[in-house]
Amino acid sequence: MTQQPYVYDQQALLAQLTPLLWAQLPEKGRDWLQQQLVKAQSSSGFQAWNTTFVALPRFTGKQPVQFSPETLDQLNALVPGFTPQAWPADRLARAWWLAQWPAADAATYVRSISTLFQTGSMEELTALYACLPLLAWPESWVAQTAEGIRSNIGNVLDAIMLQNPYPARYLPEAAWNQLVLKAFFTSKDVRLVTGLQARNNKTLQQMLRDYAAERRAAGRSVDPQLPPLAAQVLAG
């Protein structure tokens, strides 16, 4: 496990997210969120943090966030591969809120965030998985991510598989291979899977060839992105 909670500059990220979020919110929403932050930071437990995470959409709305190319470049420089341009305001607010979460004690932090995963609604789970690159103690979320890959909820799978750098960086080979195979199986746009070529491996290629053969034998089409991946010349 990493010795520091975050693998990026947390304060620099908040400096980018805060004005962006504030521009999306009405004055009432900004006031409420600031009040909740003061309340949560002054509390001894995590109940206030959890409650606000759940309540956020009522005060932020779900309108699409407009990111400038410059802002996206700055965010990507801080968290390589972080790609939030299709996010609604409530997901941006949840990312901002999660980045404020007390994380000095790894066990306590992981336990509190795990509670959100265990009890979350579909929208909450989608936000949590989309925010995997921003969570502290990143190695702690490998098993949770593997569990998410087994989900049948389309939005959750999108959040894990598409434009998310976390899986390619942290998943072991077996879990990564399951992600890619399921992306093809569920007809995702695999061009949006971050690290697809870099994490390719011989075992995955055989799995893809077997999957393609099964589809052809059943008279079904094969995603045109599959054959090049199965035939990619691997380094080493």
Per residue in 142-201, pLDDT (tens digit) is 999 999 999 999 999 999 999 999 999 999 999 999 999 999 999 999 999 999 999 999
Taking the C-alpha atoms of residue 151 and residue 159, their distance in angstroms, rounded to an integer, is: 11
Instruction: Please check whether residues 96 and 179 belong to one and the same domain.
Output: no
Range of the domain at 106: 1-136
Alpha helices in 83-201 (DSSP H): 89-100, 106-119, 122-130, 142-149, 154-161, 166-170, 173-185
Instruction: Please check whether residues 192 and 113 belong to one and the same domain.
Output: no
Instruction: Please check whether residues 16 and 48 belong to one and the same domain.
Output: yes
Taking the C-alpha atoms of residue 110 and residue 98, their distance in angstroms, rounded to an integer, is: 12
E-strand spans in 16-73? none
Which residues neighbour 218 within 8 Å (Cβ) at sequence distance 6 or greater?
A: none
Instruction: Please check whether residues 161 and 98 belong to one and the same domain.
Output: no
Instruction: Please check whether residues 122 and 161 belong to one and the same domain.
Output: no
| Domain boundary residue, one of 81, 106, 136 | 136
Average pLDDT over residues 71-85: 94
* Residue 179 identity (one-letter amino acid): L
pLDDT of residue 3: 75
Structure-token pair, residue 91: 């997901």
141 within domain boundaries: no
150 within domain boundaries: no
145 within domain boundaries: no
198 within domain boundaries: yes
pLDDT of residue 233: 87
| Domain boundary residue, one of 136, 171, 198 | 136
Percent of the chain clearing pLDDT 90 (strictly above): 93
146 within domain boundaries: no
Terminal Cα distance for the chain, rounded:
27
Instruction: Please check whether residues 44 and 100 belong to one and the same domain.
Output: yes
E-strand spans in 7-58? none
Give the Å distances, CA to CA, from 193 to 1, 83, 121, 140: 25, 11, 24, 21
3-class secondary structure, 49: helix
Taking the C-alpha atoms of residue 162 and residue 56, their distance in angstroms, rounded to an integer, is: 24
How many alpha carbons fall within 13 Å on the CB side of residue 144?
Answer: 23
* Residue 10 identity (one-letter amino acid): Q
pLDDT of residue 73: 96
Q: What is the pLDDT of residues 90-120, one digit of tens each?
A: 999 999 999 999 999 999 999 999 999 999 9
Nearest CA to 189 out of 230, 216, 158 is that of 158
Instruction: Please check whether residues 6 and 123 belong to one and the same domain.
Output: yes
Instruction: Please check whether residues 126 and 34 belong to one and the same domain.
Output: yes
Structural domains counted in the chain: 2
Assess whether pLDDT exceeds 70 at residue 139. yes
3-class secondary structure, 88: strand
Instruction: Please check whether residues 108 and 206 belong to one and the same domain.
Output: no
